[in-house]
Amino acid sequence: MNAPDRKIRPEIHQLDEAAVNRIAAGEVVERPASAVKELVENALDAGAQRIEIGFADGGKTLIRVRDDGHGMTPEDLPVALSRHATSKIDGSDLLNIRSFGFRGEALPSLGAVGRLTITSRARGAEGARISVSGGRITPARPDAAPYGTCVELRDLFHATPARLKFLRSDRAEAQAIGDVIRRLALSEPHVGFTLTDLSGDRARDILRLDPAQGALFDALEERVAAILGRAFTDNALCINATRDGLRLTGFAGLPTYSRGAAVAQYLSVNGRPVRDKLLVGALRAAYADVLARDRHPVVVLDIACAPDLVDVNVHPAKSEVRFRDPGLARGLVVSGLRHALAEGGHRASSTVGGAMLGAMAPSPGPRSYQMDRPSGASLRAAYSLQAPAEAGAAEAPALWDAPVAARSDPEPEEGPQDAPLGAARAQLHENYIIAQTARGMVIVDQHAAHERLVYERLKRARDANGVAAQALLIPEIVELGAQEAAQLLELAPDLARLGLVIESFGGNAVVLRETPAILGTLDAQALIRDILDDLTDLGASAQLEARIDAVLSRMACHGSVRSGRRMRAEEMNALLREMEATPHSGQCNHGRPTYVELSLAQIETLFGRR
């Protein structure tokens, strides 16, 4: 291709409305899931209590959204298809946004790249239908529509066929649509959702959610259980924390209930689902000390605040937000989650026991008859008959001839069976403690458990006494950019508490005078670069604290009870009691569970009694 002649002055001209709408659609509608998101958010803004979503071929050939909201009059329909026409704001205050949509771009953008039909009826008005294809609008005509609105989008991107080449398979696009609906459904638990795949000859319901009942947490728990499963709510902590006008609510999974990818993290701000790197970074920092690096927590969290404390108008898809005080929002997430995890104490995921049960379950076979569990009187009679006969005693009468005198059960071994982790009964392979609880049994990995206990002691000592620093014989000077130097010096007081003392050296240079003694010899420049990278990416840095914690973790590993050591009963019980009193003791320093609990019902299942 020949280079353009720079001597020819290009003429400035106004783009026609169709081209403008197609350009705008490229920002708002990236794929079928984007169109579904915009239409469902419009339905929510209209006060809908039930929303039905249908699609065909991954949304490429058909998207249909029907709601029972306020609806529109015949006069409203042509206006709704014009750019920047909305009923949600008056334009006087763009920081006081209390609705999902507010720009008035979705419907005209969809009409510019697909074949769009809107059928609607408002209370006290006649129903009407209007169509637009490739930006060309047909006049509204009467229609016998029910109250509410039905938007039907066919042949998405038919006006811009090049965009179709960048779409993924029907299956991948359908999964993206499902993810959008799940996120919105978690944000609006009191609204019913139905998602249906209309591809082929038969419709197939993918998701059907009735409106949840009850107050905030009850309704949210019901909706979360319907989407993520009851296993998550059974292994999640209820979050309710506030700080300076911000409130964090929702559910956070236990560290041992984690995933191999960040696919189950549902974050929202004022009910608006977001994928914000500030919040993702805060989530990672909150779980950093209790999860392995290749594991990711499962959470459903919402930050509620006054609209003027957050700007939602920073991304065309409104998937990112900007807080007036980012540090406050990040600190609320980190502290709220850490506090809840600490209050969770020694809890570990119940799914660990389920996984163990699945691994130990015998292969299926014909079920044999099992007697019901005998009563206490029957057990005492059986024990009496099984007891050795005393010398000179007459032969015991038959059970049916005479009642047997009651015999007390053998006294249990010493140990608080009613404690959460029960009483130690045995040690297997010099590494696993078997404890009996009131409901079943617990198997504890003695090394992993003691490693976490020692680690928590070391951290408490560090927090109480501070981090010892060692002065460098020759202070190290690091040249930085002007913005980097300002960022680092602003963080200097926090770094000093961790043993890293940094001062300004004039211009854009800083001088490093002291480093944490526990880290020994280190590459100071590389550490400072890592801290700056975190500041740029997340707005905060936990690099130094993470390195110190890593050293404490290694010290705890070497200072804990080793595998292969035989323990006395009192030592095992002391370990169990300390686990019960220590936060995060349900998982080791690497995120693995420290114990597995099996209920009596699960044990009986292994032996075919259930």
CATH at residue 321: 3.30.230.10
Mean pLDDT of all residues in 28-54: 91
Calculate mean pLDDT across residues 129-143.
88
pLDDT digits (tens, 9 = 90+) for 324-370: 898 899 999 999 999 998 888 777 766 666 666 565 555 554 544 44
Mean predicted confidence (pLDDT) in 540-547: 69
Do 232 and 225 contact (CB within 8 A), yes or no?
Answer: yes
| Token pair in block for residue 142 | 């009467």
Least confident range from 179-183, 406-410, 449-453: namely: 406-410
What pLDDT, on a 0 to 100 scale, did the predictor assign at position 21? 65
Question: pTM of the entire structure?
Answer: 0.74
Q: Domain check: are 248 and 333 in the same one?
A: yes
Distance from C-alpha of 302 to C-alpha of 310, rounded to nearest angstrom: 13
Q: Which domain holds residue 132?
A: 17-209
Helix, strand, coil shares of the chain, percent, nearest 5, are 35, 20, 40
Q: Please, which pLDDT band fits residue 526 given cuts at 50, 70 and 90? A: confident
Number of domains in the chain: 3
Express as a percent the part of the chain with pLDDT over 70: 79
Q: Which range, of 291-305, 402-416, 570-584, averages the lowest pLDDT?
A: 402-416
Which structure tokens are listed for 474?
A: 């020759």
For residue 35, tell me if it sits in a domain: yes
Give yes or no for a contact between 521 and 493, defined as CB atoms under 8 angstroms apart.
no
Where does 401-445 show beta strands of DSSP type E? 423-428, 432-436, 440-445
Does residue 182 sit within a domain?
Answer: yes
Whether 496 and 564 map to the same domain: the answer is: yes
Claim to verify: residue 127 and residue 21 sit in the same structural domain = yes
Say what the pLDDT of residue 505 is.
Answer: 87
Tell which of 209, 236, 259 closes a domain. Answer: 209
Percent residues over pLDDT 90 in the chain: 33
- Of the pLDDT bands very low, low, confident and very high (cuts 50, 70, 90), residue 537 is low
What mean pLDDT is reported for the chain? 81
- Confidence band of 9 (pLDDT split at 50, 70, 90): confident
Ranges 200-209, 392-401, 453-462: which has the least confidence: 392-401
Q: Specify whether 195 is located in the same domain as 230.
A: no
Do 282 and 168 have their domain in common?
no
Res 157: pLDDT: 85
The answer to whether residues 253 and 167 belong to one domain is no
Task: Please indicate, yes or no, if residue 599 is contained in any of the structural domains.
Answer: yes
Among 101-105, 158-162, 396-400, the range scoring the smallest mean pLDDT is: 396-400
Residue 274 CB contacts under 8 Å (≥ 6 apart), including other chains: 267, 268, 319, 320, 321
pLDDT of 413 over the 70 cut:
no
Shared-domain flag, residues 473 and 527: yes
Rounded to an integer, the average pLDDT of 481-500 is 83
Query: What confidence tier does 402 reach under pLDDT thresholds 50, 70, 90?
Result: very low
